[in-house]
Chains A and B, each alone.
Chain A
């Protein structure tokens, strides 16, 4: 096939092209901003950022389709002393990050009108995306830590971007403080694992753990501290306190970016670290039962997220809590692992859900960005009768809400189904049952948004003013993505499961 020709004729490092494209775009943005520093030229900046992320998207998709780093073409490509690895999973996640980044930068054109420091904004987004793409390819605990920080630091700044807005600054501070603590926990966990095994490369850690019989206690504490680090990044209970604040206070496109891409990045590195470095089959007999910890985390996270979302009056906050709930669903990917189970299917289903989630959740936050652009209020009531004014945007939001709730005509249905099905298949039917009940509950608060937009009468006459083109394009693109992911779900889930199976 053509895939062999691709990798045979190119040096190995070209497989990191999607990451390099993001990094290069971030640097080009800084360059553009240096040449024209008054940042009035936001269209040029956004265009550069969009093209860069689309190029990254194209490269990741191309490499994925060509089979780079997958078993059929000779297996994962290891780089820099095996501290980076390019395989199907890394490319799949890079596809998610690139698509979310593209949506976010397109939407930011209108959102940022009149704000200063636009060049910095776009380059920070692209740097964060680079960090996420690196996270997906990290094959050593050190690179995982460094790339996690590369993704996090720009995010702190981005959350605080509306610096005259108290909510934005407060959110950033909260995010930063909890982020710093969990980074410390994460780093300490890494050092404990290093103490027990003497290595940071994931594959060698697994081998080291198998021999480190005397250090089980140290290694175990290390594993659970690393788990805590990921729980922060994915906004899982009990490290979720920053999330509603940060998502609510941040500029809405950034909320979408954090709750979709950044969360997916946390899962990307967690999937790799826990499957490659801490294999279930060996650690569970040693007494380090991390799948159980993830199971508890998943159940608590989705239940708490959904119940908290159901009680919100503020739409953006509701989305923030529902995003915590979705982290709970995705955690099933790690919770439903067992020695000898259909582990590739479970993690693959989780990855496919994250891809669909990238579109529907980013889209939902971008819709909020649009309502903020129109200076509507933030409660459900403020959306009343909006469909008479902006039917297409409301149609798109309806698609996002129903898809997030997992109703059949949309992509979220099959991805949730695949997730719950794989969990049942692995014998974790109770986990799937909790997920299904939560999913049914979520319809309640998602449909409140739909009801407000379409069925309630407008409170007063609202003049929406301008039609923000960039926001419309991004929201529509996300809606079309959400819709098309239903018929196109086949290749998506098959690719995800095949690349996840390669981890075992």
Chain B
């Protein structure tokens, strides 16, 4: 019942914050958001699942009751966690709390609504990562869009309306494509399944029970459904060339919202890819491995090149997400323990690191009111702590050892070098690794121009060190990044355990 308790508490907290007066809303939201953190850590400490939730593994904190019956299908309230979803639940709760603190400075108007929506989004994100019935999952998946639309559209920058609508339309159309793809599979399975529980469907698909639908033979149906779902999730990830909503949304969104967007929302895409495409239809994935790997490498290199060309610090971090998520796709298509496991680990690591980077840029912006690289230089003199964390975060992003990013990328590269999905995989990996050089390039370049050198600032604001409540979440995130980098086994063990069953059917 811990999952239901988490969901119920967060929903009620969201409502409570929404009606609270503006002066207290930020503090109240933070205080309330600590309970899900404690809850998710408690789940982690008592975690006893083994195997993959979709592949006949045992599921922790499971609830499975029939919700209602519709045309012979049982819809279940079915939630639980395994080694893939639990790290993401922990990431969600921690990042939400920190994002709420980081909102105290920049969010000045309609605060209770802002914090209420943040908590509402958190509840739905927990739902996405714990739901194991397609309908329950889809309800949460779509429900995340609604608060995000408002958070970007109401509290965003000058072009917020455009960005919010673009985000909403892109991801909603993507959801429709995914929905159609998945439902086609359900209908194709026909009578061999009795519900939309994901494990049941995954097992049936793995057992080759897919039949033809409307005269479309099973192999074609599987490929079409795979492509539809892949497109749907790839928009969320985002994979180039479907990434164009992301820089707009990121640049316009207020800092805490960017943190949630990069830190957790993008992981919904890769998580769903892993759960649906790569777990349920491994044969199709292997058939399409070359195009997917090409997309991954293009995302890595193209995203990094775009980041290199930006003048806006936030845009740099935004495009670098496209690049980093490309690594995750590469790890998934590798179909090895280290590849898929590393991809899952990288989801958490990138969540923390990109969250840290966005927050740092936000702190700099709160003080300077500009994000343009050309408008400032040498601000490390005036904001030494923030600058220090910026440097540390950038190093984590570049994959310095003993930080979470290194562990994630190392696992992915090891896994994809070993991969036998198709012959050229090591070549693709080598090409993707070139991305690291570009990442180091744009981050060092940006840091060198903004943080170091003689102090210069083209604005009227006093540049002083940021207040404690702005810097504290940065420090916490940095600590977590180092902890996870030093001891990746805090999560990697359970991830491997959950990933291995997926690889069983693939040579």
Q: Which residues of A contact B (CB under 8 A)?
A: 342, 345, 349, 387-388, 391, 395, 402, 407-409, 413-414, 418, 421-422, 424-425, 429, 440, 443, 447, 451, 454-456, 486, 489-491, 493-494
Q: With A451-B165, A454-B153 given, is the CB distance from A408 to B139 under 8 Å?
A: yes
Q: Which of B141, B164, B172 contacts A455 (CB 8 A)?
A: B164
CB-contacts of B118-154 with A (<8 A): 124, 135, 138-143, 145-146, 150, 153-154
Q: With A443-B172, A451-B161 given, is the CB distance from A408 to B68 under 8 Å?
A: no
Q: Which of B142, B153, B160, B168 contacts A409 (CB 8 A)?
A: B142
Shortest Cβ distance from residue B188 to the other chain A in the assembled complex, whole angstroms: 13
Asked if A489 contacts B68 (CB within 8 A), the reply is yes
List residues of chain A with CB within 8 A of the CB of B139.
408-409, 413, 486
Q: With A408-B138, A408-B141, A455-B160 given, is the CB distance from A491 to B176 under 8 Å?
A: no
The CA of A86 and the CA of B60, in the complex, are separated in Å by 48
Asked if A493 contacts B161 (CB within 8 A), the reply is no
Asked if A408 contacts B71 (CB within 8 A), the reply is no
Asked if A388 contacts B110 (CB within 8 A), the reply is yes
The CA of A486 and the CA of B22, in the complex, are separated in Å by 30
CB-contacts of B55-113 with A (<8 A): 67-72, 75, 110, 113
Asked if A440 contacts B168 (CB within 8 A), the reply is no
Interface size class of B (residues with CB under 8 A): 20 to 34
List residues of chain A with CB within 8 A of the CB of B135.
414
Asked if B161 contacts A455 (CB within 8 A), the reply is yes
Asked if B68 contacts A407 (CB within 8 A), the reply is no
Query: What DSSP secondary structure best describes chain B's contact surface?
Result: helix
10 nearest A-B pairs in the assembled complex, by CB-CB distance: A490-B68, A408-B142, A409-B143, A455-B153, A408-B139, A425-B71, A345-B71, A490-B67, A455-B161, A454-B154
Closest residue of chain B to A494 (Cβ to Cβ) is B68
B 387-401 binary contact with A (CB < 8 Å = 1; else 0): 000000000000000
**Looking at B143, B161, B165, which has the most chain A CB atoms within 10 Å of its CB?**
B143
Q: A451-B161, A455-B154 are in contact. List 19 more A-B contacts (CB 8 A).
A: A342-B71, A345-B70, A345-B71, A388-B110, A391-B113, A395-B18, A407-B146, A408-B140, A409-B139, A414-B135, A418-B70, A425-B71, A443-B172, A454-B150, A454-B154, A455-B153, A455-B160, A456-B161, A494-B68
**Looking at B18, B68, B176, which has the most chain A CB atoms within 10 Å of its CB?**
B68
Asked if A421 contacts B168 (CB within 8 A), the reply is no
Query: What DSSP secondary structure best describes chain A's contact surface?
Result: helix
Q: Which of A413, A451, A489, A493 contacts B153 (CB 8 A)?
A: A451
Closest residue of chain B to A489 (Cβ to Cβ) is B68
List residues of chain A with CB within 8 A of the CB of B176.
440
Closest residue of chain A to B127 (Cβ to Cβ) is A409
List residues of chain A with CB within 8 A of the CB of B172.
443
Q: Which of A387, A413, A421, A491 contacts B68 (CB 8 A)?
A: A491
List residues of chain B with CB within 8 A of the CB of A443.
172
CB-contacts of B281-325 with A (<8 A): none
Asked if A407 contacts B161 (CB within 8 A), the reply is no
CB-contacts of B156-179 with A (<8 A): 160-161, 164-165, 168, 172, 176
List residues of chain B with CB within 8 A of the CB of A486.
139
List residues of chain B with CB within 8 A of the CB of A451.
153, 161, 165
List residues of chain A with CB within 8 A of the CB of B153.
451, 454-455
Shortest Cβ distance from residue B254 to the other chain A in the assembled complex, whole angstroms: 14
The CA of A489 and the CA of B164, in the complex, are separated in Å by 31
List residues of chain B with CB within 8 A of the CB of A429.
214
The CA of A408 and the CA of B178, in the complex, are separated in Å by 14
Closest residue of chain B to A440 (Cβ to Cβ) is B176
**Looking at B71, B142, B145, B160, which has the most chain A CB atoms within 10 Å of its CB?**
B71
